[in-house]
Amino acid sequence: MTRPLAVALAGLGTVGGGVLRLLRENADIIAGRAGRPIAVTAVSARDRGRDRGFPLAGLRWYEDAEALADDAEADVVVEVIGGAEGKARALVERALSLGKPVVSANKALIAVHGAALAARAEAAGVPLAFEAAVAGGIPVIKVLREGLAANRLSRITGILNGTSNFILTVMRERGREFAEVLAEAQKLGYAEADPSFDIDGIDAAHKLAILAALAFGRPVDFAAVHVEGIRAVSALDIALAGELGYRIKLLGIARRLEGGIEARVHPAMVPAEAPIARVDGVFNAVVAEGDFVGRVMLEGRGAGAGPTASAIVADLIDIARGRATPVWGAANGALDASLPSLGIAAHHGAYYLRLMVVDRPGVIADVTAILRDLGVSLESMLQRGRAPGEAVPVVLVTHETSETAMREAVARIAALDIAVERPALIRIERG
């Protein structure tokens, strides 16, 4: 019998436990597809005495995660610790320096240090695999790096964070405010006690940086991603978006433009009939656009023990079979580091502008004069009801214009004595 592929697993939380269970429960079909059994033989975690709900007998235990890489019998290291620095980074660097393949679910590590780690893996001649780092069980890394390898990709659009998508879905369906739904998401386990990475867009930005590097054949550049979260999205904006035929989603968008690569994460209004607008709850979706394949959409669960473990074990099967692809789809020397990154100031598009203004004569004239002076033309305007002397919402939808003009417009309108609060500005994505 062929010797099993021996796995050293760092991290025994939700995902690590999922990997152990999957390898054990589906051992027969995994062995058939890998050409040999795959088994965890060594582990590392913080609390050795904790009952995790699954047996750990017979596994070699390491208190120090980095030392796990030195396990003499381990063929491959799986890292599910998380975080861009500390033990996770040290373990991966150590394993690669020893010439051991690495499988990681750590999007922060890959987004921030992926270029250097890829160079280290290439020098050692071993795989660095991270299918589980983006969109959980959706095989988007393999699709971009292999399935669409012959295409020149022009755009990647994704719902990349299930927590934010769940919150926005419930806000729309029940007409509830952000803070209330966030608290519910935390009770249900969909949001962490500190949800900042999810609701402030950082988690999605890590994933988008990885997708952009794969899609456009350039070194990963997390610092170039513009990031906004969903804290400022109100139930009123979601309801008004519905009246206009849109839904609000937290999107990650990367585009190849004439001047370079644009990468941004922010709330966006998308047409309600668009397929990505109908991806609700904790689900993720990625849409890729290529010159020969056209538009391809992938949808599924973006997190959780099962989906993430599925992606990790898929990478292990590739390693067991000896299937290896360059980390970023091409050798480091073939990546185009000359492609500039375009900041959000260079963005052009349509915008939703919602004002809360005192209802009195001349208000609209004051606002439209500001937009006129900045060269912003309007597609439509929405105002519901009258309340003389009180605050009322006014919604303006623009034709395509510049980010710079719209930011200046917001600043000027906010300075008017008619503005009760700072205007809400949401980008519209129709493509």
Please list the active-site residues.
Answer: 207
169 Cβ contact list (under 8 Å, min separation 6)? 280, 281
Displacement of CA 267 from its chain's centroid (Å): 13
Neighbours of 391 (CB within 10 A): 14
Check residue 217 and report its DSSP letter.
T
C-alpha span between 32 and 2 (Å, rounded): 11
C-alpha span between 352 and 243 (Å, rounded): 12
C-alpha span between 336 and 156 (Å, rounded): 18
Neighbours of 393 (CB within 10 A): 18
What are the backbone dihedrals phi and psi of residue 129, each rounded to the nearest 5 degrees, phi first?
-115, 145
C-alpha span between 330 and 252 (Å, rounded): 23
C-alpha span between 151 and 11 (Å, rounded): 37
E strand or H helix at 245: none
Residue 281 falls in which region: left (phi positive, over 0), alpha (psi -120 to 50) or beta: left
E strand or H helix at 251: strand 246-257
Closest Cα partner for 376 from 345, 343, 404?
A: 404
How far from 354 is each of 30, 39, 71, 423, CA to CA, in Å?
53, 56, 59, 6
What are the backbone dihedrals phi and psi of residue 355, each rounded to the nearest 5 degrees, phi first?
-110, 150
What one-character-per-residue DSSP string does 356-374 give? EEE--TTHHHHHHHHHHHT
